[in-house]
């Protein structure tokens, strides 16, 4: 009996479910088509149309659609008026489709004759009448006699005048007149803006509450002086300078209540002392393989503002321990003395080519074979330095006391103990506050040594790098990167490998392995086979290894296009080589790439193919370059 009842209920429930499904809300669709205007006007029309906002509702009754349609004429006129079109002709039609569940709205617009600016008057009165700040605003606007009226341009000039006054200390400024007069019938408009700046305020006394370093030293981080004209930009730079000092975990910088009698603004700074910190980083690149970094920072060794940092970096090609002690002086944001200790082991080059020549009965000549022996360097150095920054340039003077060990397949091991003085000159951006820069428009390093300073060969070396990104629009960018290196050395074979030039790799000439571009050095080695076939037989062996060049020339031309979701694509060509002579041939490659930019990591994947490979018997195949660079 129960089974009969269940079967009966199922027969009744299934048809009821179908009826309920058909009776449920049906999705309505309103398709809006706007014709006769450019993309900017069309976007504004659609933004103001009520029909456009309601078109995705699940269900819209026909009378509601009719009410929304009656608003079209007024909403279109409201959308065109800010662009100077006050008398458009609007024709709209509404067609019901699919039993009045879907509708099609077509709006044809003739904007008509635009309103043109007949007169523009911008007057600055008061103490700021001759200030270049306001002159730039008045000269840089787009409100020009004869131009089409745009309400946004008028509002922007008005806002820019008020913002300039607030930023540069005209804190009592007020608009005496802000008039936009429009005569739609005559298609004419006039603009009148009159600003009374009042007196300009100055910086008053600065009160600082902190316990990290001496008061006199912390005041050197201020980017303004008491009595100077007030400038909100200098307050912001002071905030950045105090944050970047790393003395504090938090900094609050607040302008106080302005004093109309003395026209001054006091400043209150409150900061909390930072504690020692650790940082961890990881990444991957084709050149280095997986890499990791651990660092420790003591931001305040003492109340004079000394700082100490120790870091450990490990990758397939480089392992180093780096310790640096900084002593700020003068302007502590831009000037410091440092003492650095570094113990670094680096694989500079691989690919050793050998060819063993044996008597015919023993073995045939099998040509060159490639083995994995490397040029390895270990440098233990202590380097005092002085850093100075003025204007757009930074200068760093160094004297490196180095113990260098170079190991390779030809000379086995060589040891150098030498002093290497040097100077670095680099371009810095406007408003630079000593922060680390990920790229520089120009970087030049000159260093060298003499036999009197321990060098086995006198040498002088110059390395110049430049990187520029040119924006070719909102989504297109052109990356130009280049490096030129030259050296003068009496006996190149005695030059430590750390001071030679190599090319090839992720940030050099893609399409080639890390440091694969370099002159080859070939030597003949003789010996006697110790065991196996031909034991006791004398042999001659040719050994070739990429040993680095006297000079360097590399360059990159790369076009990048931004895509949605922080993605991008690129097409590029690289060229360059490490050279013995400046007229030696250059390697050339081309490729395409993919970019994924995230807040804390950038992922880059490039596929490059060599077109010209001097020093190679055959062209290398296509090569993938992967670079994952986190910023933790």
> In whole numbers, what is the pLDDT of the chain averaged over residues?
86
Residue (of 272, 233, 286) closest to 255 by Cα position: 233
What are the phi and psi torsion angles at 446 (to 5°)?
-120, 125
Report pTM.
0.77
Q: How confident is the model at residue 58 (pLDDT cuts 50, 70, 90)?
A: low
Q: How many CA atoms lie within 13 A of 493 on its CB side?
A: 9
The mean-pLDDT minimum among 78-92, 314-328, 353-367, 592-606 falls in 353-367
DSSP state for residue 502 in the 8-state scheme: -
- pLDDT for position 452: 95
Give tens-digit pLDDT for 97-114.
776 678 889 999 999 999
Does 173 score more than 70 pLDDT? yes
Mean pLDDT for 27-56 is 86
Give tens-digit pLDDT for 416-447.
999 999 999 999 888 787 777 766 789 999 99
- pLDDT for position 532: 66
Give tens-digit pLDDT for 197-248.
999 999 999 999 999 999 999 999 999 999 999 999 999 999 999 999 999 9
- pLDDT for position 1: 42
Rounded Cα distance between 559 and 567, Å, is 14
Mean pLDDT for 483-503 is 92
**Cα distance from N-terminal residue to C-terminal residue, the chain:** 72
Which whole-number Å values give the CA distances from 281 to 6, 72, 341, 596, 602, in the listed order?
65, 57, 21, 18, 13
Q: Which class for 600: exposed (0-12), middle (13-18), buried (19 or more C-beta within 10 A)?
A: exposed
- pLDDT for position 509: 96
- pLDDT for position 189: 95
Give tens-digit pLDDT for 109-149.
999 999 999 999 999 999 999 899 998 888 877 888 899 99
Question: Domains of the chain, with CATH numbers?
Answer: 24-110 (3.10.20.310), 116-196 (3.10.20.310), 202-273 (3.10.20.310), 278-630 (2.40.160.50)
Strand ranges (E), 529-600: 538-546, 551-563, 567-579, 587-597
Task: Specify whether the CB–CB gap between 180 and 167 falls below 8 A.
Answer: no
DSSP state for residue 46 in the 8-state scheme: H
């Amino acid at each position: 009996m129960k089974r009969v009842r269940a079967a009966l209920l199922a027969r009744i429930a299934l048809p009821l479910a179908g009826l309920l499904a058909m009776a449920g809300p049906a999705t309505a669709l309103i398709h809006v088509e706007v014709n006769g205007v450019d993309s900017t006007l069309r976007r504004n029309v659609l933004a103001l149309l009520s029909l456009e906002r309601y078109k995705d509702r699940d269900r819209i009754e026909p009378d509601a659609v009719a009410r929304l349609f009656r608003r079209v004429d007024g909403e279109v006129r409201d959308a065109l008026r800010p662009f100077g079109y006050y008398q458009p002709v609007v024709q709209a039609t509404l067609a019901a489709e699919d039993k009045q569940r879907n509708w099609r709205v077509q709006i044809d617009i003739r904007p008509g004759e635009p309103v043109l600016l007949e007169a523009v008057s911008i007057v600055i009165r008061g103490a700021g009448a001759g200030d270049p700040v306001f002159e730039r605003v008045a000269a840089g606007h787009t409100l020009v006699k004869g131009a089409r009226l745009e309400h946004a341009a008028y509002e922007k000039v008005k806002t820019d005048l008020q913002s300039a006054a607030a930023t540069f200390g005209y804190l009592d400024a007020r608009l005496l007149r802000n008039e936009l007069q429009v005569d739609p019938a005559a298609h004419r408009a006039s603009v009148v803006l009159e600003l009374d700046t009042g007196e300009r305020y100055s910086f008053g006394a600065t009160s600082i509450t902190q316990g990290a370093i001496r008061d006199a030293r912390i005041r050197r981080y201020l980017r303004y002086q008491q009595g100077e004209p007030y400038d909100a930009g200098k307050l912001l730079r002071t905030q950045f300078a105090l944050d970047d000092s790393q003395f504090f975990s938090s900094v609050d910088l607040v302008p106080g209540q302005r004093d109309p009698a003395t026209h001054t603004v006091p400043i209150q700074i409150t900061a909390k002392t930072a504690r020692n910190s650790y940082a961890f980083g990881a990444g991957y690149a084709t050149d280095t393989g997986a890499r990791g970094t651990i660092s420790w920072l003591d931001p305040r060794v003492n109340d004079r503002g000394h700082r100490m940092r120790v870091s450990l970096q490990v990758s397939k090609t480089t392992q180093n321990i780096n310790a640096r002690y900084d002593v700020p002086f003068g302007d502590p944001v831009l000037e410091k003395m440092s003492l650095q200790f570094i113990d670094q082991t680096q694989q500079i080059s691989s690919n050793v080519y050998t060819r063993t020549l044996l008597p015919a009965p023993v073995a045939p000549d099998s040509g060159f074979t490639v083995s994995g022996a490397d040029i390895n360097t270990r440098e233990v150095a202590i380097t005092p330095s002085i850093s100075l920054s003025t204007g757009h340039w930074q200068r760093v003077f160094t004297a490196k006391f180095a113990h260098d060990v170079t190991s390779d397949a030809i000379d086995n091991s060589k040891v150098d103990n030498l002093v290497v003085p040097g100077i670095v000159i680099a371009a810095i951006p406007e408003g630079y506050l000593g922060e680390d820069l990920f790229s520089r428009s120009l970087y030049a390093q000159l260093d060298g040594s003499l036999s009197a300073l321990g060098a086995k060969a006198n040498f002088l070396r110059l390395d110049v790098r430049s990187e520029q990104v040119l924006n070719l629009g909102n989504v297109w960018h052109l990356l130009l990167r280049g490096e030129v290196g030259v050296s003068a050395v009496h006996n190149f074979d005695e030059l430590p490998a750390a001071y030679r030039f190599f090319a090839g790799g992720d940030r050099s000439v893609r399409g080639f392995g890390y440091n694969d571009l370099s002159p080859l050095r070939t030597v003949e080695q003789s010996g006697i086979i110790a065991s196996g076939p031909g034991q006791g037989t004398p042999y001659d062996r040719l050994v070739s290894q990429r040993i680095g060049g006297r000079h360097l020339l590399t360059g990159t031309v790369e076009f990048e296009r931004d895509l949605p979701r922080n993605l991008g694509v690129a097409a590029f060509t690289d060229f360059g080589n490490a050279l013995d002579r400046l007229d030696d041939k250059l390697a050339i490659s081309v490729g395409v790439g993919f970019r994924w930019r995230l807040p804390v990591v950038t992922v880059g994947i490039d596929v490059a193919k060599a077109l010209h490979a001097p020093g190679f018997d055959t062209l290398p195949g296509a090569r993938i370059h992967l670079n994952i660079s986190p910023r933790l």
